[in-house]
Structure 1
Amino acid sequence: MKTEFKFSNLLGTVYGRGNLVFTPDGNSLLSPVGNRVSVFNLTKNTSYTLPFAHRRNITFLDLTPDGNLLLTVDEDGRAILSIFPRRLAIYHFSFKSAVTSLSFSPDGHYFVVGLGRKIQAWRTPSTPGGNADGDLEFAPFILHREYGGHFDEVRHLSWSGDSRFFLSASKDLTARIWSLDPEEGFEPTVLAGHRQQVRNVWFSADQESIYTISEDGALFRWEYTSGQGDDEDSVNPGDERWRIVQREYFMQNAKLRCACYHPSTNLLTVSFDSGLFSLYEIPSFSNIHSLSMASSPISAAAVNQTGEWLAFGSSKTGQLLVWEHASESNILKQSSHLDAMTTLTYSPDSTRIITGADDGLIKIWDVSSGFHIATFTEHTSAVTASAYSKRGNILLTSSLDGSVRAWDMLRYRNFRTFTAPQRLSFSCLAIDPSAEVVCAASHDSFDIHLWSVQTGALLDQLSGHEGPISTLAFTPDGRYLVSGSWDHTIRVWSVFDRSQTSESMTLMSDLLCIAIRPDSAQLAASTLDGSVTFWNLNTSIQESGVDGRRDVSGGRTLTSRRTAASTPGTKAFNSITYSADGSCLLAAGRSKYICLYSVSTLTLIKKFTISINLSLDGTQEFLNSAAIMSNGLPRDMLDTEGEASDLEDRIDRSLPGVKRGRDATARTLRPEVRVTDVEFAPTGRSFCAASTEGLLIYSLDDVGADDFDPFDLDIDVTPQNIRAILAQAEPEYLKALVMSFRLNDKTLLRQSYESVPFETVPLLVRELPRVYLGRLLMLVAQQMEGSPHLEFALRWLGEILSIHGRYIKEKHGDFATELRAVLRGVDGIGRTLRSLSERNGFEIEYLCHEPIGKDDNSMVLFGGGSQQKSTKITNGGNDGEGEEDWIGLD
């Protein structure tokens, strides 16, 4: 089994804190999720997470106007500069202090950052093909100028359209005008008049006006005019300076949290801590829309370049919303779990992941797109376990509300609810492979309850354990039910026999979880002492064991008086699972490590570190003694953010010692890194872990961007030579394609691929060297997902499989990634054709019901019943652009 699993995607969390940024084309949205950045493609309905990670939570990010460079800054002021199209981090830099604002200039040559009360302007690093000087490549960050004058923290920075001036808004109740370079006759100007801190400040499109907005909901418009005698803002009549010419107030009983302004359309969007957001047209100050996103405060707002889409994020609920104000519809609406995830399970085809959490919600996540597609809210308490039937589309979940629910995954509804004769809080469940019997157990009772899935009737109660039951599992062949308890025993039940006998296996400590090998011959059990033991299910004899205390332990909490190596709470595996072939065992617990063991050799193959985020508790092996205060508490536990001055935001209403069910965003709680559940995909190509930061997916497939990975190059393999070959009177398509594979550039590959005539595809595929076969499969798969030439791609695929199919079958292990990408592409084409045919069918049916003789200057429908006419139908397509399809009517 291959073990080169790499981080693939982050699901389960869509927004953490910080600002939101649209790409220049407006099709994608960048959202900070903890110490990572997730990118949501709003036209293709897909998402991915950038592979690099910060050491703390990201607070600010911004893109250059050309969308090439991405700058992200964390809580400590450490920045990562990355090439956004390549998803590649190229430079790390520290601003020495916390960054309070960030903005790139419209021309992309400079960016300004707010560092407390001062502002710094930096030159943007040059990139290949950029306009900056070449020497910038050797010093990516060069300080241009530093500005000072504010008396409190700078909260917002924005540029003028010509990139000569920029504005700053501060908590000292003022805004200021600055020039990037010294200008003749210009002096920095102070805009004072607000009674609370200024949240945002912008230039108008013509740069003749400035808009400032404060936390109390006051909007001021400033213009450079001469003072009049009766103007209350005038000091010296006739003196030209920036003056307030208009005052407007939003009149909301809530504080203004954030705002965004689109200069070309003069549309202003304001958001309040009540969850309300409003859209205004200025300077007329006419209200266009007022809607509520949620009852929680809106933390961030952004507008795309055309001004059509508005993005909102709420850090308290983890919700992300993209709204189109013209059609008054949601383009994107995603939300995270409100509390820690407790369980996860894969669907049998590995395309979906179902998660349950302490908030009582059950969410279904699509692995390929990264979006959640459905949410079940019927449970009224924490969800403790979930199981997917191997045959059929049935999901079973158990909860502390005393119910086990069965869900129809085709219609997304709860069709059966199972309860015990007395009220119990179920902590684990299992379903047999035939999906006929479901069983569940509780910490409150030592019995196992069995129900019929079809009738919902309670079939039996199995007694025998002398302590709370912690885990249940059916063997994959359906013969036995295995239960583990805190009474140091494992029992194997023959529930389908007449005698219903059970066999007991004794352990040395409390049992936490069990896993059964796919061939039903071996059982793995994890106990509280940190050991994993392997048992033969046929003979009930222990075969071997692994001591995993040292492997799983890691990370010291801030309040711990012991080192990470001696902390007892992190020395056990709370979740274990077998790989699809049964050769490896994956184990995780209350630490930052996930361990992969070989079952045959009992060795640790690999350790995965799920997070390096220092904003979480338990990610450091050693604590800095210099950060310990005189009272013995770490300095990181101090509340240094003065904005949470309201009493209701600072009260901790949780019970002492409670770790679950609390508000994870409360300032008195620092989330602790842990893995609550881990599971291999049925295909064996990936595994997923439910952690503090979300759903972490690790995969064997190549999930990176279009990396520039050239190979077998020589001096003649250049983009100019490839284009010259394609421009010849008789192009050498095979030579151009092979040279493009060697250079491995996305643009050249697509150009060479689309230049091949339709009738020469079989000959080219036959003459292609086999060393490029995998790359050709991946190229065709990528074109099927993003190109409109569906028949052309299918022709390529058909020829590849007919000519090289026997070789691919022999070497299928080497082409696993490419074949999975091809399968996704074929499924995408099938969905596209199905939706197109359904839409055309509805339009044809509509046209057939039109009155005969209606003159629409297009055609006569079924005039005599013998003519065949053509109707031109316009449809939207998947990408939102209009496409025309000609469909013949008999």
Structure 2
Amino acid sequence: MKTDFRFSNLLGTVYCQGNLLFSPDGTHLFSPVGNRVTVFNLVDNKSYTLPFAHRKNISRIGLTPQGNLLLSVDEDGQAILTNIPRRIPLYHFSFRSRVTALSFAPSGRVFAVGLRRKIEVWHVPSTPDSNAEGELEFAPFVKHHTHTGHFDDVRHIEWSSDSRFFLTASKDLTTRIWSLHPEEGFTPTALSGHKQAVVGAWFSQDQETIYTASKDGAVFAWQYTGRPGADPEKMRDDGDDDTDLRWRIVDRHYFMQNNATLRCAAYHAASNLLVAGFSNGLFGLYEMPDFNQIHTLSISQNEIDFVTINQSGEWLAFGASKLGQLLVWEWQSESYILKQQGHFDSMNALVYSPDGQRIVTAADDGKIKVWDIESGFCIVTFTEHTSGVTACEFAKKGNVLFTASLDGSVRAWDLVRYRNFRTFTAPTRLSFSCMAVDPSGEVVAAGSIDSFDIHIWSVQTGQLLDRLAGHEGPVSALSFAPNGELLVSGSWDRTARIWSIFSRTQTSEPLQLQADVLDVAFRPDSLQIAVSTLDGQLSFWSVSEAEQTSGIDGRRDASGGRKITDRRTAASVAGTKSFNTIRYSTDGSCLLAGGNSKYICLYSVSTMVLLKKFTISVNLSLQGTQEFLNSKLLTEAGPSGLVDDQGEASDVEDRIDRTLPGSKRGGDPSERKRLAEVRVTGVAFSPTGAAFCAASTEGLLIYSVDASVQFDPFDLNMEITPASTLAVLERERDYLKALVMAFRLNEPGLVQRVFQAIPPADIPLVVAGFPTVYVARLLRFVAQQTEQSPHVEFCLLWIRAIVDKHGPWLATNRGKVDVELRVAARAVGRLRDEIRRLADENVYMVDYVLQQADTSADSGSGAQARAREALEWEAPEPEGRSKLLGSSHEKGLSLDDLVKQPVVVDEDEWIGLE
């Protein structure tokens, strides 16, 4: 089994904090998710997460006008410059201060960054496509200028369309105008007049008007004009026509949203659209300069944190951090382009669908979400549970999902119609903590933390079949054997029991352990059980003999990272570490384990050796990710992270304390995330074994063996030409190399020539060595040739070789090659229909010939012989036969004449046919 798993995508969370960005063409949306950046393709309905990770949560992101460079900055001012097309981090840089605003100039040469009260302008690092010499700079970040003058944090930076001036909006109630280079007759200007913090400031299309919006819902329009009511002629006569010209408020507007405050705003200069998001979850769309209200909609239960508009002005993107919501709204058609929301509480369990294309997650918020792995989107959310969902499990056959919850119910879901079709409850009110489903899908079992019994229901009737008593503590884990014969349960009474529930005597075999049982797992061959206990031990038991065969001490492997309140170092805190969730791999050779640690461990079952440790997070915003505590963060009152500074916030709504005293899992969802601890609550292997996923504090992490972009050595060869391709084909007879070179050039004529020149006997060998990066294109090309080319048997040999040699890859990447597989199936189906139709026509024709032969006495044996030849003769392929028959009818030949004349087939006409 391959163990080279790498991070490939992040699901379960779509937006955390910071600003959203549209790509220059408006088709991609960049969203900061914790310490990573997720990119949503709004046209193809897909998403992917960039591979880099910051040391803390991202606060601001910026994108160059060309869309090739992304600058992301975390809460400490640490920046990463990333190449978007290649998805490669290029440079790490520190601004040495908290970044509050970031904006690239439309020219793409400079960017402005707000560092609290200070504004700095930096040159954009050049790339080979923008540099005249085609070389990268040795010093990517060069400071151009520093501006000071604000008295509080800068919240927004906006550039003019010609990149000569930019505006800065601050919490000190003012907006300031700055120039990039010294301009004759221009001095930096402050626009003051708002009564609360300025949220945003923008230039109009002609740059003659400036719009500013403040937190209290006031929108001011500024113009460079003289004193209102003054006579221009008199001013010109006095000679002071320039002395009284300055930026003045020419119009005032107010949103009037009762007690709601303005949280964010965006302006699209080309269409004069102003979008405002409020603290009550409403957003409004207004047309400037008349301030005509176009639309108002409630899209969230909490405040909207950020809004942006794409370049064409058609799509609006909103982000709400408290509930983790991300929406893209098309205001003209009033429809959602994207509407996603992650779990706003910790995930408890996850499971792969039997086909490996979807992942189901269950969380403390009572929601069950189904995620599509290929697109990265949540396709359906179930909200029928009224309390936290603790377990989820698929039936082995069919699209049936079972979930257990603390509300005392076990529910069965139909994932075809997306509905709850069965609910199982106990005679008394219980809270179910674990669940298992029989492989046949006919029996479901659940364990409770209230009573120590295991309840078993029939899925068909919904009735309670039995209650298994024997444990003396809360039941923490359940698992059915893959063959469906046994049920194993784990409890806090330090025992695991094996139940034979389908036999007449429901015997229970207890397995004595040294600590409380956290999780149990059956090996796929049903011969071994793995048990994880609270003391960090992994023990393996033989099912037939009920004896322990081996064990692993996982405390050292799980240790790492310390919390703010820990009095010991990360190395000596190993006594408190254990694995809360364990799963076997598909082939049963490896065991995946995760718990209250930043590590996921992969063990070999046969050798009991740690194969690999995966670090799920390096985010210092979470507790348990750092190895050593910083002494400067320790105060007389304790760690600075635990000091409550909420009462010192400048805004009234930020000073309100909504938390419940002494509770870690209650109160406001955002407050529970403030000092979140890194942990893994669930792991699962993909049915194909090529990936695994883990439910963590930051979201649903997917690790895959083919996560990186596949390397093709021909990408680096500059000598690939049609002439060299034909030379490799005809002289060297290296058919594999010639075919790859032809696909690299992507010229249809050249690809077809190389394709038809490959001998049929070499097809399996060529396909076996063909790079997987081109398999989808080869499959589509062969399917098109099957529909167009007369060489039917030749194309079918190619299709069979592709399916035989690359079948597992096609099954694993079904979502990527779904279109190609449908094209190939359509081509084969059309070919089958043509052959059937042609065979039916020939049967009637041959029957007619035989009847004519029987009635004609003159022809006698000659006609019968010719008819027999017509029956035994097989055309090289149906289309060729139909062409031959068609040409004979055009010449006026009968079937007897056709049988008499010899059939001559050119050797070059039928390639690959014998």
Query: TM-score band, normalised by the shorter chain?
Result: 0.7 to 0.9
Of 257, 277, 281, the match for 2:283: 277
Task: For structure 1, list consecutive stretches of 5 or more residues without a partner in the other structure.
Answer: 743-747, 838-890
How far is 1:118 from its partner? Answer: 1.2
Residue number among 742, 746, 750 corresponding to 1:752 in the alignment: 746
Check conservation: 1:125, 1:132, Cα contact below 8 A.
no
1:671 paired residue number = 676
Q: Aligned to 1:781, which of 763, 767, 776?
A: 776
Q: Is the 8 A contact 2:739 2:751 kept in 1?
A: no
Q: Kindly indicate whether residue 176 of structure 2 is the aligned counterpart of residue 157 of structure 1.
A: no
Tell me if structure 2 keeps the 8 A contact 1:85–1:705. Answer: no
Quick check: 1:366 aligned with 2:372? yes
Distance 2:79 2:731 in 1: 47
Residue in 2 that maps onto 1:621: 627
Structure 1: which amino acid aligns with 2:404? S
Kindly indicate whether the alpha-carbon contact (under 8 Å) linking 2:558 and 2:574 is maintained by their aligned counterparts in 1: no
Note the 1:244-393 alignment, pairs <5 A. 244-253=249-258, 254-393=260-399
Q: CA deviation at 1:821?
A: 3.5
Deviations for 1:35-90, whole angstroms, at most 9, x for unmatched residues? 00001111111111001110001111111111111110100001000110111101
Match of 2:486 in 1: 480
Structure 1 residue 542: deviation in Å?
0.5
Partner of 1:313, secondary structure, is strand
Kindly provide the amino acid, as one letter, of the partner of residue 274 in structure 2: L
Q: Is the 8 A contact 1:644 1:650 kept in 2?
A: no
Aligned to 1:700: 705
Aligned to 1:142: 142
Q: Which amino acid aligns with 2:7?
A: F
Indicate if the aligned counterparts of 1:515 and 1:524 stay in contact, CA closer than 8 A: yes
- What is the alpha-carbon distance in structure 2 between the residues aligned to residue 440 and residue 644 of structure 1? 50
Letter paired with 1:678: V
Residues 668/596 of structure 1: CA separation in 2 closer, same or farther (3 Å cut)? closer
Q: Give the direction of change, closer, same or farther, for the CA distance of 1:755–1:131 in structure 2 (3 Å limit).
A: farther
Residue 782 (structure 1) shift: 6.4
For each residue in 1:478-523, what CA deviation from the matched residue of structure 2 results, as whole angstroms up to 9, or x when unmatched?
0001111111111111111111111111111111100110000000
Query: Is the CA contact (8 Å cut-off) linking 1:664 and 1:670 kept in structure 2?
Result: no
Distance 1:604 1:829 in 2: 39
Q: Which amino acid aligns with 1:694?
A: G
1:666 is paired with a residue whose SS is: helix
Deviations 1:827-877 (CA, angstroms, capped at 9, x unpaired): 57649999xx9xxxxxxxxxxxxxxxxxxxxxxxxxxxxxxxxxxxxxxxx
Could you tell me how far 1:536 is from its partner in structure 2?
A: 0.3
Write the distance in 1 (CA, Å) between the matches of 2:482 and 2:375. 30
Aligned match of 2:757: 763
**Aligned residue identity for 1:247:** R
TM-score by length of 1: 0.86
Structure 1 residue 633 displacement after superposition: 2.3
Q: Which has the larger share of helix?
A: 2
Letter in 2 for 1:826: D
Say whether the 8 Å CA contact 1:722–1:739 is kept in structure 2.
no
Name the count of aligned residue pairs: 815
Tell me how far 1:597 sits from its aligned partner: 0.3
In the aligned structure 2, how far is the partner of 1:828 from the partner of 1:293? Answer: 38
Contact 2:9-2:703 at 8 Å conserved across structures: yes
Matches within 5 A, 1:209-224: 209-224=209-224
From 689, 693, 696, the equivalent of 1:684 is 689
Structure 1 CA distance for aligned equivalents of residues 673 and 420 of structure 2: 38
Residues 281, 823 of structure 1: alpha-carbon distance in 2 compared, 3 angstrom cutoff: closer
Deviates more, 1:379-388 or 1:220-229: 220-229
Aligned AA (1:250) = F
- For residue 842 of structure 2, what is the aligned residue in structure 1? none
Counterpart in the other structure of 2:114: 114
C-alpha distance 278-789 of structure 1, shift in aligned 2 (>3 A): farther
* Alignment counterpart, residue 820 of structure 1, candidates 802, 812, 819: 812
Kindly indicate whether residue 175 of structure 2 is the aligned counterpart of residue 171 of structure 1.
Answer: no
Q: Which letter does structure 2 place at the counterpart of 1:470?
A: S
For 2:300 and 2:111, how far apart are their aligned partners in 1?
Answer: 34
SS of match in other structure, 1:100: strand
Is residue 311–residue 323 contact of structure 1 (8 Å, CA) maintained in 2?
A: yes
SS at match of 2:256: coil
Distance 1:237 1:245, change over 3 A: farther
Q: Identify the residue that residue 70 of structure 2 maps to in structure 1.
A: 70
Change (3 A) 1:641 1:127: farther
| Percentage of pairs with the same residue | 57
In structure 2, what is the Cα distance between the partners aligned to 1:791 and 1:756?
15
In the other structure, the counterpart of 1:97 is: 97
Q: CA deviation at 1:773?
A: 6.0
Q: 1:570–1:591: 8 Å Cα contact kept in structure 2?
A: no
SS in structure 1 of the partner of residue 813 of structure 2: helix
* Residue of structure 1 in register with 2:34 after alignment: 34
Answer yes or no: is the 8 Å Cα contact 1:778–1:818 preserved in 2.
no
- Paired position in structure 2 for 1:84: 84
1:14 is aligned to 14
Partners of 1:783 and 1:204 in 2: CA distance: 51
Larger mean Cα displacement after TM superposition, 753-762 or 65-74? 753-762
CA contact (8 A) 1:652 1:668 kept: no
Question: What does 1:390-429 correspond to in 2, within 5 Å?
Answer: 390-429=396-435
**Distance (whole Å) between structure 2 residues aligned to residue 10 and residue 471 of structure 1:** 27
Deviation string 1:561-586 (CA, Å, 9 cap, x unpaired) is 22223336741100000000000000
CA deviation after TM superposition for structure 1 residue 592, in Å: 0.4
Secondary structure of the residue aligned to 1:196 is coil
Structure 1 partner of 2:898: none
Kept in 2, the 8 Å contact 1:781–1:822? The answer is no
Counterpart CA distance in 1 for 2:223 and 2:423 is 66
Q: Secondary structure at the match of 1:460?
A: strand
What is the identity, as a one-letter code, of the residue corresponding to 2:323? T
The residue identity in structure 2 corresponding to 1:536 is S
SS of alignment partner, residue 581 of structure 1: coil
> Given the two structures, how large is their TM-score scaled by the length of structure 2?
0.83
2:530 is matched with 524
**Cα 1:222/1:777, change in 2 over 3 Å:** same
Give the counterpart letter for 2:817 in structure 1. G
Q: Distance in 2 between matches of 1:72 and 1:613?
A: 15
Q: 1:333 to 1:111 in 2, by over 3 A?
A: same
Q: CA deviation at 1:752?
A: 1.9
Give unpaired runs (5+ residues) of structure 2: 830-914
* Structure 2 counterparts to residues 497-512 of structure 1, below 5 A: 497-512=503-518
For 1:213 and 1:733, how far apart are their aligned partners in 2? 71
Cα separation, 1, equivalents of 2:181 and 2:223? 22
Which structure has the larger Rg over C-alpha atoms? 2
* In 2, Cα distance between equivalents of 1:291 and 1:832: 46
Partner of 1:557: 563
Checking the alignment, whether the CA contact within 8 Å between 2:16 and 2:33 is kept in structure 1 is yes
The worse-fitting range, judged by mean Cα deviation, of 604-613 and 756-765 is 756-765
SS at match of 2:130: coil
Distance 1:213 1:561, change over 3 A: same
